[in-house]
Structure 1
Amino acid sequence: MSQSSDLACEFYDALNDGKLGLAFQPVVHSRHPHRVLYYEGLLRSLAEPFPCNPIALLERLGRIRLLDASVVSNVVRLLDRNPALTLGCNISALSAVLDPGWEALGGLFEDRPELAGRLVIEITESARFGSHADALAFFQRFSHLGCKVAVDDLGAGCFTLDFVAEARPGIIKIDRSYLVEAREGGSALRRLEQVVETCRAISPVVVLEGIETPADHQLACAVNVEWLQGFLFGMPRVDHPDIPGNGSLKF
């Protein structure tokens, strides 16, 4: 067995042993930061840090789907326990395929539409979709069920604007790299303005990531982004007081 395979097994052992959890961070309104759109759950180790990026490792080995299924299942359980919450979680683009597991979840949402309406599925850009047609079918299926399907970290990875325009996600999250460059002003600021304008023409909800300082907040308001996420508004927390019942991930 290769070292990479050994690490993947260690990761899933940690998941099975309850050593992984979700740290939640709010997505807030730019003008009224007390208004929370939803909380995103970010994967965290509850024990010692993993020696490499586990997501990239599992994507490279084609073993990411089990993790994504576990994360989504845990978030759905939290939604079931907390009917006032809207929660989001990340899945790999490699997992955005309508397999039996997703179809079973779709069946649950057909029976429980109030759950679907409070789930945000964020698809990350760290890997390419296995199939353009399969990816579109995934977006369409879960959007039709009432979920908000989001494109995460736009500009940092594999998604093209042509695909995003075709998929029509419920939420587009703009990668923080645009903000970092825009802090210098000039053409980088104009570029961020153009990206925001393009995203607003595609999706009803646009989020700018990476807001760390009051100056970042002011810049985001200046380019007319309605929703923001970043350390300025709250660090990701496993023990978030607004997320009762959160703890270690369960298979």
Structure 2
Amino acid sequence: MAFALAAADLLVEVGQDGGIVSITGAVKALIGTREEALVDRPIESLFVESEGALIRRLRAKALEKGRIEPAVMHVVCPQGDAIAATLGLCTLPGHANTYLALSVLSPGMAAKLPKRDDVTGLIAMSEFQHMAQKGISPNDPGSGAAMLQEMRLVKIGGLNKKLKSLGESRANELMAEIGAILNASATDTSAARLGEENFGLIGLAYGSAQADMSVAEGVRLAESLAEAMMTAGLSAHAARPQVTSVSLARDGLQEKEIARALSYIFDNLSKTDFVAPHSLKSAFEAAEREVIGQLANLRDIIDHDRFDLHFQPVIELKSGQIAHHEALVRFGKPGSPLETIRFAENVGLIADLDMAVCRKAIALLADQPHLSLAVNISGFSIQYPEFCAELNERLHAQAVLAERLIFEVTETHQIENMDLAAQFLSGLRRRGFKVCLDDFGAGAAAYNYLRRLDVDYVKIDGPFLQRAATDRRERALLRSLSVLCAELGCQIIGEQIETPEIKSLALDLGLTFGQGYLFGKPTAEVPRSKALAANGRRVGQIAAWR
């Protein structure tokens, strides 16, 4: 008890009826009243209203098991604000009361907590995936150490219709209870609402002795959900929640890939309604086998350089002179390589793939002194300190390539750590390497990137330029972007220029460079200084980039 008090900001004893028996610690500072004024008040009154059902469930769990893993709750402050705090709950042998230890989280740690729905307290789908990808424990936001390996899927068939039959107030009460049940069963995991009827929990790895316990807990979880629905007035026939536990096999997966593979599988499964637990389990196992196979194949591609570079010219529009070539990765199979690249991003291998492409491009430039290349690097990769450090080391040894190597930052993955990305790209530019912001106009974050990142070029997404040919609004946006880029000291490259008319439009809108089938398709042949381009100029000639 003394140890718990020393480590906590508040220590609360709660009676069997749920009333506060005693409370000690920073009561005045946190709650804004004297200790004796809180005695006999319900324990729920210390927390935000939406967490009332959850605290009741957690107390019941502590009475059953003796203690619970720490959970994050929100304490109501005198000003009406809520402060995030970790809650520990336990009982003492021979005592029927429960004891709560509350420790306030620092503002920095609280800011890292996932956003939760106001009614249910459940995490949204996007936050759920983010946590799985990052491997972050929801109740220890600074640790980053949780290895997520087990997933429990919950289906409440027809829930949306049932909620509508209850009316808004009773429906919210039921959803709050469902959220409390899921969160109470997930104090060491993440619980989320993944759709109108689908819910999910991702937890820590279970040992073999705990696996049976996990199955039993799944049964109890389904029973608790059914009981809550019947209490809300729904029939026993209607209340049939389904709970299925699935585990991701470690075989063939590196530790850093487990959480991302799990998130990738889960994302695909959550897009399809599932009917019965056994069919869902089969679907998961089939998806798991496919993903592990894809991972093994992709790692083999990266480790053994089983990919090729194809080259497409980028033209200075006014003179028709070739400025440089973009190096495009190809995997030796029909179809677009974009599917493989997106898979690499989803499972956390894109930084390794980008590094392999950079290594091959750097070696080619060292062997071809008349060649100039632009290589693509994902927005995900430049947030990896290991990737940034290795690329910086390689470029330090090849400083002479600065005038012939451009890095195009793609927007297929949103940049979250903007400070690290900006620092890395600024370092490249200080050493003379040029940076291009790729796919501008393809995503909502483009203008934010342009605001935060110093770049030399902006490459307009092809469909954006195509639409400008017939849409006055799109033309106005592109013309204003041209003015903005001129003010920022960067130049614009237009993609997918396939006709003389689109080329003329690009010139009229102020674009400096162009790329597309009008000037040349991607080819596996390495451009050489003596090879002639389609416009009669020599491939490999270098125009001024600024």
TM-score (norm 1): 0.87
Q: Identify if the C-alpha distance between structure 1 residues 165 and 243 changes in structure 2 by more than 3 Å, giving closer, same or farther.
A: farther
| Consecutive unaligned residues in structure 2, runs of 5 or more | 1-248, 250-287, 531-546
Q: Does 1:170 align with 2:456?
A: yes
Question: Equivalent residue for 1:218?
Answer: 504
User: Structure 2 residue aligned with 1:63, among 334, 349, 353?
Assistant: 349
How many Å apart are 1:100 and its aligned residue? 4.1
Matches within 5 A, 1:90-239: 90-97=376-383, 99-157=385-443, 159-239=445-525
- Taking the aligned partners of 1:197 and 1:238, their CA distance within structure 2 comes to 36
1:122-148 deviations in Å (ceiling 9; x for gaps): 110010124111111111111112111
Q: Identify if the C-alpha distance between structure 1 residues 173 and 202 changes in structure 2 by more than 3 Å, giving closer, same or farther.
A: same
> Is the CA contact (8 Å cut-off) linking 1:128 and 1:158 kept in structure 2?
no
- Taking the aligned partners of 1:21 and 1:51, their CA distance within structure 2 comes to 11
Q: Which 10-residue stretch deviates more, 134-143 or 152-161?
A: 152-161
Q: Identify if the C-alpha distance between structure 1 residues 114 and 158 changes in structure 2 by more than 3 Å, giving closer, same or farther.
A: farther
> Is the CA contact (8 Å cut-off) linking 2:311 and 2:527 kept in structure 1?
no
Q: Does 1:75 align with 2:75?
A: no
Percent of aligned pairs with the same residue? Answer: 27
Q: Secondary structure at the match of 2:383?
A: coil
Q: Secondary structure at the match of 1:173?
A: strand
Give the count of matched residue pairs.
Answer: 243
User: Structure 2 residue aligned with 1:23, among 310, 329, 344?
Assistant: 310
Q: Identify if the C-alpha distance between structure 1 residues 107 and 181 changes in structure 2 by more than 3 Å, giving closer, same or farther.
A: same
Q: Identify if the C-alpha distance between structure 1 residues 51 and 182 changes in structure 2 by more than 3 Å, giving closer, same or farther.
A: closer
Alignment RMSD: 2.3
- Taking the aligned partners of 1:186 and 1:123, their CA distance within structure 2 comes to 28
Question: Equivalent residue for 2:297?
Answer: 10
Q: Which 10-residue stretch deviates more, 42-51 or 232-241?
A: 42-51
- Taking the aligned partners of 1:85 and 1:21, their CA distance within structure 2 comes to 17
Structure 1 segments of 4 or more deviating over 6 A? none
How many Å apart are 1:26 and its aligned residue? 0.9
> Is the CA contact (8 Å cut-off) linking 2:324 and 2:374 kept in structure 1?
yes
- Taking the aligned partners of 2:386 and 2:464, their CA distance within structure 1 comes to 37
Q: Which 10-residue stretch deviates more, 178-187 or 148-157?
A: 178-187
> Is the CA contact (8 Å cut-off) linking 2:326 and 2:374 kept in structure 1?
yes
| Consecutive unaligned residues in structure 1, runs of 5 or more | 245-251
* Structure with more contact order per residue of length (Cα contacts < 8 Å, sep ≥ 6): 1
How many Å apart are 1:101 and its aligned residue? 4.6
- Taking the aligned partners of 1:127 and 1:32, their CA distance within structure 2 comes to 34
TM-score (norm 2): 0.42
How many Å apart are 1:203 and its aligned residue? 3.9
